[in-house]
Amino acid sequence: MKNLFLAAALLFAVTFLAPRSASAQQYTAGGQFNGCVTASYGGSYNWLEFTNNCNQSLNIHWFWRNHDYSGSAGDARPGSSVDTGMSASEVRGHGGYELYVCPQGYVAVTGSGSSLSNGGSNPQPYKCKQEY
């Protein structure tokens, strides 16, 4: 009887108390959340900034097109912006950018779960993986 109780308690814990992993949704470059983000020049230095227009916080990652391995990322609450630190002439010099946008707490990774690289001149399908 004691073993049956322990087995039932373990089953309950595994089923209901274990952390659940969100199934990863596959996106193309220019994915589902990119429509939530607008680009403009503003702020104190008139740098390129990405504004979150959705009702949830987002992680906005960008790669410069002419510099595959460079770019950056930042989290933006609804209505707030992430500043790139680049002027219009610098952005043109980089050939523009590609966005990889996920909900906050998630990062864009390749379909196999690896970190994105050369995402600027080689836009890639991606999925959003929960950060740990």
Q: Where are the domains of the chain?
A: 22-130
pLDDT of residue 67: 67
pLDDT of residue 110: 85
CA separation (Å) from 96 to 25, 69, 88, 113?
26, 14, 9, 26
pTM (2 decimals)? Answer: 0.73
As given in the structure block, the two tokens for residue 60 are: 């906005």
Q: What is the pLDDT of residues 49-87, one digit of tens each?
A: 999 999 999 999 998 888 656 788 999 999 999 999 999
Q: Which residues pair with 98 in a beta bridge?
A: 63
Distance from C-alpha of 60 to C-alpha of 63, rounded to nearest angstrom: 10
* Strand ranges of the sheet holding 47-52, from the earlier edge strand across to the other edge: 37-42, 47-52, 81-83
Residue 30 carries which DSSP code? S
